[in-house]
Amino acid sequence: GAVVSQHPSWVICKSGTSVKIECRSLDFQATTMFWYRQFPKQSLMLMATSNEGSKATYEQGVEKDKFLINHASLTLSTLTVTSAHPEDSSFYICSARDSGTDSYSGANVLTFGAGSRLTVL
């Protein structure tokens, strides 16, 4: 089945530094990937839609200069948290849909990565 890999699975950094999280579709191509953030005991919040070869689309209230997204290939999207602060500490999760899947066959399913836990000191 479809697999999405995230790296790193956890990271600790100092306040003011930048952190990059990678999201890879291992056995399929994904023209669109999605980035979510999840705080403890809360649901997933969609941050942005990552589009291969074009600019990401950010949800309302998400700072695009703070959370840089690059989708340079059909299998890789990266999220960079710039000038991280303690309030950015969270669980970041990406997801992707197989571009080769016929959406009308009922296979409009998103595959999620295992998540990346960021702790900013």
Question: Residue 114: which residues within 8 A CB-CB, separation 6 or more?
Answer: 5, 6, 9
- Tell me the HSE value of 5 on the side-chain side, using a 13 A CA sphere: 10
| Residue 66 token pair | 């703070």
Query: Any contact of residue 70 with another protein (CB under 8 A)?
Result: no
| Residue 24 token pair | 């890879």
Tell me how far, at minimum, the Cβ of 9 lies from another protein, in Å: 10
Residues 7-26 that bind another protein (CB under 8 A): none
Tell me how far, at minimum, the Cβ of 72 lies from another protein, in Å: 17
Binding mask 37-66 for another protein (x = CB under 8 A): ------xxxx--x-x-----x---------
Give residue for tokens 């589009």. Answer: 51
Residue number with CB closer to another protein (72 or 114):
114
Specify burial of residue 7 (Cβ count, 10 A radius: 0-12, 13-18, 19+). middle
Interface ranges with another protein (CB under 8 A): 4, 6, 32, 34, 36, 43-46, 49, 51, 57, 91, 93, 95, 97, 99, 101, 103-104, 106, 108-115, 117
